[in-house]
Structure 1
Amino acid sequence: MSKDVSVVGLDAILSELGAFGRYNIMNYALILFPCYLAGMYGAVYIFEAGDISYRCEVKQCESLGNTSLWLDYAIPKEKGKYSKCFKYPSRGSDCTADAFNTGSKEKCTSFVYSDEDSVVKDFNLGCKNWKRTLVGTFHNSGLFISLPLTGIISDKFGRKKALSFAALMNCIFGFSRSFSTSYIMLVVLEFLEAGLGAGAYTTAFVIAMELVGPKGRVFGNTIINTLYVFGLMSLAGLAWILQDWRKLLRIIYAPSCFVFTYLWILNESIRWLISKGRHDEALKVIKKAAKMNKVQISEQSLAPLQKMENKLAEGKDEVADQPKKSVFLQAIKSSIIRRRLLTCSFLWITCTFVYYGLSINSVSLAGNKYINFMLVAFIEIPANFTCFLVLDKFGRKRVLIIMYILSAILCISLSFLPKDKIWWSLAVYLAGKYSITVAYSSVYIYVSEVFPTNVRQSLLAVCSSTGRVGSTLAPLTPLLALYYENLPSIFFGTMAIIAGLLVFTMPETINMPLPDSIEDAERLSKVSRHKTNA
């Protein structure tokens, strides 16, 4: 019912409002804050449950301190370092070379931890790497619930209500997690915080994409992703300064309580209001935006919207008596939308798996783990500006294909670099993160452009939540390196090659208006094929 209004009227209205008016800037500023916070929330488990130095406790020798005088004959070495999990069996209560049987090893039952900060130390997770990495897996598995849930709330009740709800959940469960007294309490709160609050970023992103016309989407996405990167870098800086995961959680989650006030101060998405037939409210927001931007919207642009509102007012009782059909189910019944949904989900899985995998494994690189993480995060800024420069020039498909394949080549090439070439390895590592970031940023824009408005966030949430299979498995990739050091990189490269090939089956969306109905979304494939044949 709002299809004609949305396509014909709204893009013209947005064009007349301008891309950088006061209304747009103020709303974007509000949207950017939860995006900045999301950068910290999505990766905090890396420092919260980071691996630290520890060794077996040898009770009869502990009074002597950490010295090689007794460590050499009490603790075996693995790859030139003292073992974390094994010690030589003791023959007695003395701390002498003869008191240990260096011909065999036994597993540790207690540990001596370094002064480094981590839940590993607080909850005695020594030599339980699976428990440590599960913290990140619990966090990311929560997104399987959060993204569809937030998508349903957003598409049914409004974007700002979904954003405010998610922010409140971040505040409650994230802040509470800092008071965890056990490992079980920690992972349960980790799951609940992500499971109910992680949809804040995708909701803010959808609001931003619906706030501007086709020409402003790529620039808006670049700004959002840049703030997300600043969040990542701020996280590493705070973790480095504080050296206390509990204080870190309290500092980063407290501001999320402010975002809950967006329920009263943020303007609802005009495009969403129109898709719900609430044209009178949409007109009020448009007039408010025009007043703030000091522009006059032409009657010609407003006419379709006013006409549709009058029609709805006249036939209100008739419409109310008609049975309501699920738009989501109608969308899923379309074979084109179904195939597109499956393909976009795999593209998302690949992006999250490689993106988070490289971020997580960066703290294992030689050197300062905080600086390494900052560098791997900082490389996303030029990657996002690359998106801004190339997406509107070369199109979405071409950029995605090139970046997926390039990421695959770089990740696999890490396997062939000599281990003593630290700077070469870091350079290739950063280049791999750069290319997958370009792909990830492009996927966010691309997916928002191939689905209709009335189910856009629901379908985007399906892709994003399915894609979290990748981010859920990513925290476990350091365990693969225990079997074969280059196995994570090989997995990353293989996934990226498959994703690059799948992009060939998708339509091009450059300079196309956002589809507002299922028919509009299906028509994209026909238009894309027509342009290709021409």
Structure 2
Amino acid sequence: MSDKKADETDSHNDLDYVLSDVGEFGIYQIGQCIAMVLPIILSATYAVEFIVTSSTDDYRCAIPECEWLNNTIYDQNWLSHAIPFKNGRPKKCSRFGTSHQSAPDGQCPKSLFNESNVIGCNEYVFKTDEYRIMREFGILCDENEYKLALVGTVNNIGGFLFMPLTGLLSDKFGRLTVLIVGMVSCAIFGLIKAFVGSYMWYMVLEFLCAAVGTTTYMAAFVLCVEWVSSKYRILASTTIAATYPGGEILLGVMAMLLPNYRAFLSAIYTPALLLAFYFWLVPESTRWLIATGQYERAMKILKRTAKQNNREMSEKSMEIVRNSCTDAKGSGKNGENDCSSIIAIFQNKILLIRLIMCSLCWISVVFVFYGLSVNATKITDDSNKYLSYITTMAAEVPAALITFFMLKYIGRRTAMCCTMTIAASVTILSTFVPSHYTLIIRIMFFVGMCATSSSFAILYVFSAEIWPTGMRNLLMNICSMIGRFGSMLAPLAILLSHYKQNLPLLLFGSAALICGFIIFMLPETKGKKLPHTVQDAIKL
């Protein structure tokens, strides 16, 4: 009863009451959430497009003594005569030197080669018609393979460095502005990247594209969450989570249809230019407008919302908005997003520990998620690598449904613990399954990705619920920025398979297990309102 009375006393700041008055999740909010589908799908595609552009293909040395270089195929019945084999496959950059004998026309006998003389080569035959940056920039042979792994690492470094800045800009200038500018800029850099002629410039543009586009999903997510009341927060967030894998599946489909990386990049980045029209089509977050004291803009959007939802905005709601905007202006903090408020986070022990624990959870979840995503193209033979990727990413769709019910009935911390423990279990157990049991490995990867995706969706909701409105986007971006350490390490962790095949999976499983325990150091937010002020956040 005391909590109820406290809520009534603080009703002048109850923004959930305002949203329930104009329609908590009516036609207007549904329309705005639908408008977020395009940027969410595109941001998902851009986050992992390096998996396609930096993918490898099987290749071998060309043998001009036995084949015409402009008309040849990868598999030949005489390969074992001309090229040393490793693990049942021809070595990529080695071949046998020739003996002094000449080859009969149309034949390639074993006697033509000297197996004691292994030499390198500078011409190659590729297994497929895929033309990725590996072939464009000549990134061949084991000693250069790190350059392909660096593409993913540089992508994540770009996101890591710019996340706090874009989060601060989002809290300063609005979620919608950062979303549109980020998406359009990312499209421009991505289209330029498709046609550069050097590895160095490609990496520069990879960095810039990630830097400006990395927080577009976060901005879209916060917009959707802030458009609705606490009652529909789980529904809105899980709907977004169910939309996200559409971008990853689209990535796999486009990779299969467009083997040339230039056409592939052009196709996925061009649609983002359409987001320039969102300045006139999509409204700003009313919570952010109120938190920054912009009464006129907030009232205009709320009245439009009420009209399209066939509701009437009451005098009490107008008074709540007026009081909240007046408080924001009177405090001189514009929704608490100034430097002094950020310092307050680091001066408060409760919020500082919360920030550290939240960041550790982000590192673990991101490391596991991107690690399994990159590894998804390697769980079967290369001819099916994109099919493997698509089926593994499709695990995120049922994950969103599972997330909805888990958040609704068992709370955030328990849900995170359950999903990460499941992810850890199947990932570690998969290392004991013989490689020829392809179906079992696919199923285990599917379950692992489903659990990890569910954890990711829960973490987004959780991260949005533990910070105040004026700093929500900034602090979520700080946690996500630190989480980028996980995505930087994931592509490099895959390289450890050269030393011990299952070592990357053991690392991913261990990280998931650790996260399952760390989550209990954060406050449970199930059934609680979004904190509007720093004091609201401390009281969670």
- SS of 2:115's equivalent? coil
Compared with structure 1, are the counterparts of its residues 164 and 399 closer, same or farther at alpha carbon in structure 2 (3 Å cutoff)?
same
1:342 and 2:347 correspond: no
1:220, CA displacement in angstroms?
A: 1.0
The residue that corresponds to 1:362 in the other structure is 376
What one-letter code is carried by the residue in structure 1 that aligns with 2:415? Answer: V
1:184-223 paired onto structure 2 within 5 Å: 184-223=200-239
The residue that corresponds to 2:85 in the other structure is 77
Q: Tell me, yes or no, if the aligned pair for 1:15 and 1:213 is still in contact at 8 Å.
A: yes
The residue that corresponds to 2:53 in the other structure is 48
1:57, CA displacement in angstroms?
A: 3.0
**Matches of 1:192 and 1:6, distance apart in 2:** 45
1:87 and 2:92 correspond: no
The residue that corresponds to 1:232 in the other structure is 248
What one-letter code is carried by the residue in structure 1 that aligns with 2:516? Answer: G
Q: Tell me, yes or no, if the aligned pair for 2:158 and 2:211 is still in contact at 8 Å.
A: yes
The residue that corresponds to 2:62 in the other structure is 57
1:427 and 2:443 correspond: yes
**Matches of 1:319 and 1:507, distance apart in 2:** 26
**Matches of 1:232 and 1:319, distance apart in 2:** 39
What one-letter code is carried by the residue in structure 1 that aligns with 2:115? Answer: T
Compared with structure 1, are the counterparts of its residues 108 and 484 closer, same or farther at alpha carbon in structure 2 (3 Å cutoff)?
farther
* TM-score when normalising by structure 2: 0.90
What one-letter code is carried by the residue in structure 2 that aligns with 1:221? Answer: S
The match for 1:17 among 15, 22, 34 is 22
- SS of 1:181's equivalent? coil
- SS of 1:102's equivalent? strand
Q: Tell me, yes or no, if the aligned pair for 2:23 and 2:305 is still in contact at 8 Å.
A: no
Q: Tell me, yes or no, if the aligned pair for 1:60 and 1:93 is still in contact at 8 Å.
A: no
Q: Tell me, yes or no, if the aligned pair for 1:159 and 1:207 is still in contact at 8 Å.
A: yes
**Matches of 2:100 and 2:11, distance apart in 1:** 82
- SS of 2:500's equivalent? coil
Q: Tell me, yes or no, if the aligned pair for 2:13 and 2:323 is still in contact at 8 Å.
A: no
1:337, CA displacement in angstroms?
A: 1.3
Q: Which deviates more from structure 2 when the two are superposed, residues 289-298 or residues 432-441?
A: 289-298
The residue that corresponds to 1:120 in the other structure is 134
1:213, CA displacement in angstroms?
A: 1.2
Q: Which deviates more from structure 2 when the two are superposed, residues 13-22 or residues 75-84?
A: 13-22
1:5, CA displacement in angstroms?
A: 7.8
**Matches of 1:6 and 1:472, distance apart in 2:** 45
**Matches of 1:412 and 1:104, distance apart in 2:** 42
1:480 and 2:496 correspond: yes
1:303-314 paired onto structure 2 within 5 Å: 303-309=319-325
Structure 2: give runs of 5+ residues left out of the alignment.
Answer: 1-8, 104-108
What one-letter code is carried by the residue in structure 2 that aligns with 1:345? Answer: S
1:309, CA displacement in angstroms?
A: 5.0
1:365, CA displacement in angstroms?
A: 1.7
The residue that corresponds to 2:3 in the other structure is none
1:397, CA displacement in angstroms?
A: 0.6
1:351 and 2:356 correspond: no
Compared with structure 1, are the counterparts of its residues 7 and 113 closer, same or farther at alpha carbon in structure 2 (3 Å cutoff)?
farther
Q: Tell me, yes or no, if the aligned pair for 1:279 and 1:309 is still in contact at 8 Å.
A: yes
**Matches of 2:315 and 2:206, distance apart in 1:** 52
Q: Tell me, yes or no, if the aligned pair for 1:53 and 1:116 is still in contact at 8 Å.
A: no
**Matches of 2:479 and 2:402, distance apart in 1:** 24
- SS of 2:68's equivalent? helix
1:69, CA displacement in angstroms?
A: 5.1
Residues 198-220 of structure 1 show CA distances to partners (whole Å, capped at 9, x for unaligned) of 21111111111111111212111
1:53-452 paired onto structure 2 within 5 Å: 53-63=58-68, 65-66=72-73, 68=76, 70-91=78-99, 94=102, 97-103=110-116, 105-114=118-127, 115-127=129-141, 128-309=144-325, 326-367=340-381, 368-452=384-468
The match for 2:32 among 27, 30, 36 is 27
* TM-score when normalising by structure 1: 0.91
**Matches of 2:77 and 2:162, distance apart in 1:** 54
Q: Tell me, yes or no, if the aligned pair for 1:140 and 1:472 is still in contact at 8 Å.
A: yes
**Matches of 1:481 and 1:193, distance apart in 2:** 29
Q: Which deviates more from structure 2 when the two are superposed, residues 265-274 or residues 108-117?
A: 108-117
**Matches of 1:81 and 1:319, distance apart in 2:** 64
**Matches of 1:311 and 1:483, distance apart in 2:** 60
1:466-477 paired onto structure 2 within 5 Å: 466-477=482-493
What one-letter code is carried by the residue in structure 2 that aligns with 1:290? Answer: A
Compared with structure 1, are the counterparts of its residues 503 and 30 closer, same or farther at alpha carbon in structure 2 (3 Å cutoff)?
same
The residue that corresponds to 1:527 in the other structure is none
1:181, CA displacement in angstroms?
A: 1.0
The residue that corresponds to 1:460 in the other structure is 476
What one-letter code is carried by the residue in structure 1 that aligns with 2:368? Answer: V
**Matches of 2:227 and 2:112, distance apart in 1:** 73
What one-letter code is carried by the residue in structure 2 that aligns with 1:105? Answer: V
Residues 71-126 of structure 1 show CA distances to partners (whole Å, capped at 9, x for unaligned) of 21221111111111322244558565345332353444443333223211122111
Structure 1: give runs of 5+ residues left out of the alignment.
Answer: 525-534
Compared with structure 1, are the counterparts of its residues 513 and 126 closer, same or farther at alpha carbon in structure 2 (3 Å cutoff)?
same
1:19, CA displacement in angstroms?
A: 3.4
Q: Tell me, yes or no, if the aligned pair for 2:420 and 2:515 is still in contact at 8 Å.
A: yes
The match for 1:37 among 26, 37, 42 is 42
Compared with structure 1, are the counterparts of its residues 19 and 305 closer, same or farther at alpha carbon in structure 2 (3 Å cutoff)?
closer
Compared with structure 1, are the counterparts of its residues 486 and 13 closer, same or farther at alpha carbon in structure 2 (3 Å cutoff)?
same
Compared with structure 1, are the counterparts of its residues 240 and 462 closer, same or farther at alpha carbon in structure 2 (3 Å cutoff)?
same
1:258, CA displacement in angstroms?
A: 1.2
1:325, CA displacement in angstroms?
A: 5.3
Residues 404-436 of structure 1 show CA distances to partners (whole Å, capped at 9, x for unaligned) of 111111111011112221111111111111111
Residues 493-522 of structure 1 show CA distances to partners (whole Å, capped at 9, x for unaligned) of 111111111112111000111111111111
- SS of 2:14's equivalent? helix
Residues 14-33 of structure 1 show CA distances to partners (whole Å, capped at 9, x for unaligned) of 12233332220221122221
Identity %: 34
What one-letter code is carried by the residue in structure 1 that aligns with 2:356? Answer: L
**Matches of 1:307 and 1:68, distance apart in 2:** 79
Q: Which deviates more from structure 2 when the two are superposed, residues 63-72 or residues 291-300?
A: 63-72
Compared with structure 1, are the counterparts of its residues 457 and 311 closer, same or farther at alpha carbon in structure 2 (3 Å cutoff)?
closer
Q: Tell me, yes or no, if the aligned pair for 2:12 and 2:319 is still in contact at 8 Å.
A: no
1:68, CA displacement in angstroms?
A: 4.0
